């Protein structure tokens, strides 16, 4: 839905769009876009997104191995063994790490075996040391039976040759890299990292490192945006602070769109300069503005648009509003354009907690309420952290948030809320 197509209320104002509809509209426009690919070594691939299915080129483990220190035996020799009626077996060999054992276990015999050792032929179980009693150097008592397969990981049991090791669209975690290393895979095809350009607008904004002078405020949004983008696995290109003039702002947006996969500007969605944000996106070509204004608190004045296939977001100038809009709109867009199709990192954990005070809400608006989670008397309690959308300290004091949906006019103290923790 473009700005020109948006429905209006009785006073001629654009109606605010529900958050879910705005996000669905945005993601529907991005679903066919996929980034380019590149090949990386495992040492470089942490947190990158797989660009193709990865099938196991070999079995893991490549042979039967013991999962315990003990004795490799024929399981039948241990049946019925107890402390009062032990089974007796002779020690006829030792398994050495990294070496295929010579010979074989026969009925009535066993091999000493360490954890990870290759199970010798003729053995189908490993008895733990704790379940044996030495008789002498060449014989042990077994005081507890072991079923066939006990304390053994079979060839290919971890993952079988030819089976799917990791799917396309999977963010590579340390454990995933370990799996690939275990399969002898040294390189992996991944999607290229997104480049996200950020622009700060406002004649009142100064760099956060500069001395503060009357009438100015430090650039909080650029610092938080860089961190949020990096945490999403994308690269950041910061275009600095741009004056609230048509010439300066339009030039910066045009350059950023040409050089990046996505662009964010902050401040240009609020009263005074919001027209510049709309005009810049529309001037860059269709489809233009998708959304300007959502039924959300905080974060109502967000702008979402497309310059060709490049998403452009106008985030509110207030830091809390900007961060909320990032989580609800920008983060899902980055995940979509990064090629993520599996939820190793997009899954959001939810914690149930008891609300510790009444919270009012306006019907027809999604309210995001920041909370501090504490445990009291064995119960999780959620204390709302209240404050204006310009108060960044509310974000630092909060460790999660819950949502009040559009159909509710608030929640009572004692209600159970579903809290999304901040990472």
What pLDDT, in 10s, does the model give residues 187-229? 999 999 999 999 999 888 899 999 999 988 899 999 999 999 9
Please give the residue that has the higher pLDDT: either 202 or 346: 202
Percent of the chain at pLDDT exceeding 70: 94
Alpha-carbon Rg of the chain, whole angstroms?
A: 31
Domain that holds residue 20: 3-35+193-337
Dist CA 229 CA 236 (whole Å): 7
Q: How many domains are contained in the chain?
A: 4
Q: Cβ contacts of residue 223 below 8 Å, gap of 6+?
A: 208
Question: Which CATH number fits the domain that encloses residue 78?
Answer: 2.170.190.11
Provide mean pLDDT across the span 284-294: 93
What does the pLDDT read at residue 347?
Answer: 54
Q: What is the pLDDT of residue 86?
A: 97
The owner of tokens 């480049």 is 195
Query: Hey, which of 141-145, 239-243, 383-387, 403-407 has the most confident mean pLDDT?
Result: 141-145
C-alpha to C-alpha distance for 38 and 17, rounded to whole angstroms: 38
| Residue 264 and residue 329 share a domain | yes
pLDDT at 12: 42
Instruction: Please determine, for residue 271, whether its predicted confidence score (pLDDT) is greater than 70.
Output: no
Q: Alpha-carbon distance 187 to 149, whole Å?
A: 34
Do 117 and 236 fall within a single domain?
no
Find the mean pLDDT for residues 41-65.
97
Residue 224 domain flag: yes
Same domain? 225 vs 256: yes
Q: Domain ends where: 337, 371, 392?
A: 337
Q: What is the DSSP string of 232-295?
A: TT-EEEEEEEE-SSHHHHHHHHHHHHHH-SEEEEESTTSTTTHHHHHHHHHHT-TEEEEEE-BS
Lowest mean pLDDT among 54-58, 247-251, 332-336, 344-348: 344-348
Q: Which of 326, 324, 277 is nearest to 305 (CA)?
A: 277
pTM of the model: 0.85
Q: Are residues 302 and 385 in the same domain?
A: no
Cα angle 410, 415, 416; round to 5: 115
């Amino acid at each position: 839905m473009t700005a020109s197509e948006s429905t209006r209320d009785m006073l001629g104002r654009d109606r605010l769009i529900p958050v879910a509809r705005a996000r669905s509209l945005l993601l529907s426009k991005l679903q066919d876009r996929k980034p380019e690919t590149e090949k990386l070594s495992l040492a470089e691939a942490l947190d990158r997104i797989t660009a193709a299915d990865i099938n196991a080129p070999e079995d893991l483990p490549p042979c039967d191995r013991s999962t315990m220190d003990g004795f490799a035996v024929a399981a039948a020799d241990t049946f019925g063994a107890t402390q009062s009626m032990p089974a007796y077996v002779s020690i006829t060999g030792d398994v050495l790490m990294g070496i295929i054992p010579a010979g074989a276990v026969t009925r009535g015999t066993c091999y000493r075996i360490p954890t990870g050792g290759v199970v010798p032929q003729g053995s189908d179980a490993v008895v733990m040391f704790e379940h044996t009693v030495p008789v002498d150097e060449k014989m042990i008592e077994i005081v507890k039976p072991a079923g066939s397969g006990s304390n053994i990981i079979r060839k290919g049991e971890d993952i079988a040759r030819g089976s799917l090791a990791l799917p396309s669209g999977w963010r590579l975690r340390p454990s995933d890299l370990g799996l690939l290393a275990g399969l002898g895979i040294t390189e992996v095809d991944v999607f290229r990292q997104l480049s996200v350009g950020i622009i700060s607008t406002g004649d009142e904004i100064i760099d956060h490192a500069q001395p503060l002078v009357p009438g100015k405020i430090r650039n909080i949004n650029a610092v938080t945006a860089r961190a949020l983008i990096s945490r999403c696995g994308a690269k950041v290109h910061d275009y600095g602070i741009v004056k609230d003039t048509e010439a300066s702002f339009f030039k910066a947006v045009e350059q950023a769109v040409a050089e990046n996969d996505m662009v964010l500007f902050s401040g240009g969605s609020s009263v005074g300069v919001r027209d510049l944000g709309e005009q810049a996106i529309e001037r860059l070509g269709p489809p233009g503005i998708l959304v300007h204004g959502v039924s959300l608190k905080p974060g109502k004045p967000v702008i979402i648009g497309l310059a060709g296939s490049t998403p452009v977001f106008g985030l509110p100038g207030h830091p809390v509003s900007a961060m909320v809009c990032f989580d609800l709109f920008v983060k899902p867009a980055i995940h979509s354009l990064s090629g993520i199709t599996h939820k190793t990192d997009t899954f959001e954990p939810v914690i149930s907690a008891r609300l510790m005070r009444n919270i009012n809400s306006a019907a027809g608006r999604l309210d995001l309420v920041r909370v501090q989670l504490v445990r009291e008397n064995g119960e999780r309690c959620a204390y709302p952290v209240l404050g204006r959308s310009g108060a960044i300290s509310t974000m630092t004091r909060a460790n999660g948030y819950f949502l009040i949906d559009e159909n509710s006019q608030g929640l009572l103290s004692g209600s159970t809320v579903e809290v999304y923790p901040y990472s």
